[in-house]
Amino acid sequence: MSQRSCLSVILAAGEGTRMKSALPKVLHPIAGLPMVAHVVKAAEAAGASSEAIVIGHRAEEMREVMAKFSPKAETFVQEERLGTAHAVLAAREAISRGHDDILVMFGDTPLIDAEALTLARLKLAEGAAVVVIGFRPPVPNGYGRLVEKGGKLIAIREEKDCSEAEKKITFCNAGMMAIAGKHALKLLDAVGNQNAKGEYYLTDIVEIAGAQGLDVVATEASFENALGINNRAELAQAEGLWQQRRREQAMLSGVTLVAPETVYFSYDTEIGADTIVEPNVWFGPGVKIAGGAKIHAFSHIEGASIASNCDVGPFARLRPGADLRNKAKVGNFCEVKQAIIEEGAKVNHLTYIGDARVGAAANIGAGTITCNYDGYSKFFTDIGEGAFIGSNSSLVAPVSIGKGGYIASGSVITENVPDDALAFGRARQKTIPGKGKELRERFASAAAAKKKAAE
């Protein structure tokens, strides 16, 4: 298998009108990744070294997305919608290069996994010319049936064309198939359009191959592997199934999920063993968590790196560029963006740290903010090792607080603070005896007059 070359042809030209969206159907995300990119990843995991994406609707947008997630993939435009075989032949140039195996897949089946594709390729290696991937849905109504005889697949029969006996078949067509590269173009070019819609159906190659004396077989995949997405309800169903898979994988690898059904992962979330994740935590793209961390409830994390034994939340938000080093703490109602929180540093509550470094063992008091943006540009705040920032302080960047520096509570700091210095940056307090009572009486009188005038 490892010596056999493989091309995946992924059909992604449909408009997906039932999604009721301006976005092409196959670009709708599952776990933060466009569903067509899930299909590409599955093909790559099954050994496909080349990808041909057949596109049509909003072709430029499709190219931009594919360049981001699969830069080596080639795109081919299907100018007219004349059926699935016609769509595959849009990638004729790629197919003609002589790959051993051709995987034909659909961009709207994001839950297909490498195992199902690898099994189909194995059958090609054993001599089959065509391998159809089938599945057994809970209710087969509406699906094409796979008609087998003597261990061979002899036809794919659409339900409307099935005999009463064939309607009882529960083994159905998932749409995906593998074709031996040496036969692919000959079989595809033999497909005609003598049918009610005048279209070229990929399924016809089963009978064409059989008539030429070539072996055609079917393999079986799970129902969820074959799940196609046509509307947003099915999109949500696929998201749920993907999340269920990922949660189980995490738990089996040593991660504790206190309430698994409430935790949401992204396609690329990395999370180490002995990490504990409490309920209602959302991981966006680009999160890496080393072992032994604790993520408390209702935290929202994306684009962040969390080292061993860190403590996050509850109700914490880590935005892209947040980098928590060993034993760092980011507590409740704190936000960290594009900032390093070094070993043992504590950002405990009600705090914003952006475009900054918080040195090892530093302590950031409640209500502290780094004022990093002047409306036009971002500026950096550097907080030294062991520094203490008092509650309700504003650090106006660019500014640095030296090692061991101490900032008095309620300060606005606009100048650098040397190592071990104490800095105050607040107005002098003034107390006027009796003035509070005078103000209350004045405000009460004004309110009463306003109410009387309204009456």
- Could you say which of 28, 183, 296, 349 is catalytic? 349
Over residues 184-207, the mean pLDDT reads 93
Phi, psi of 76 (to 5 degrees): -130, 135
Q: Where in the chain is the domain with CATH 2.160.10.10?
A: 242-423
Q: Where in the chain is the domain with CATH 3.90.550.10?
A: 6-226
User: Which helix or strand (DSSP H or E) is residue 236 part of?
Assistant: helix 232-252
User: Which helix or strand (DSSP H or E) is residue 85 part of?
Assistant: helix 84-89
Q: Please enumerate, as own/partner, the contacts of 277-281 that have beta carbons within 8 Å and a separation of 24 or more.
A: 278/313, 278/314, 281/313
Q: What pLDDT does residue 115 have? A: 95
Over residues 291-304, the mean pLDDT reads 98
Q: What pLDDT does residue 324 have? A: 98
pLDDT at 1 over 60: no
C-alpha 60/C-alpha 7 separation (Å) is 23
Contact in structure between 127 and 4 (CB atoms under 8 Å): no
Question: Which two tokens mark 118?
Answer: 């690898």
**In percent, how much of the chain has pLDDT > 90?**
84
Residue 20: CB atoms within 10 A of its CB come to 8
Q: Which of 34-48, 93-107, 437-451 has the lowest mean pLDDT?
A: 437-451
Q: Which CATH class is domain 6-226?
A: alpha beta
Contact in structure between 423 and 411 (CB atoms under 8 Å): yes
At 160 the three-state DSSP class reads helix
Is residue 99 among the annotated active site residues?
no
Q: Which of 15-19, 240-244, 402-406, 418-422 has the lowest mean pLDDT?
A: 15-19
- pLDDT grade, residue 2 (50/70/90)? low
Average pLDDT, the chain: 94
Q: Exposed, middle or buried by CB within 10 Å (0-12, 13-18, 19+), for 245?
A: middle
Q: What pLDDT does residue 140 have? A: 87
User: What is 242-423's CATH topology?
Assistant: UDP N-Acetylglucosamine Acyltransferase; domain 1 (2.160.10)
**pLDDT tens digits for range 93-143:** 999 999 999 999 999 999 999 999 999 999 999 999 999 999 999 888 889
Q: What pLDDT does residue 160 have? A: 85
Q: What pLDDT does residue 161 have? A: 85
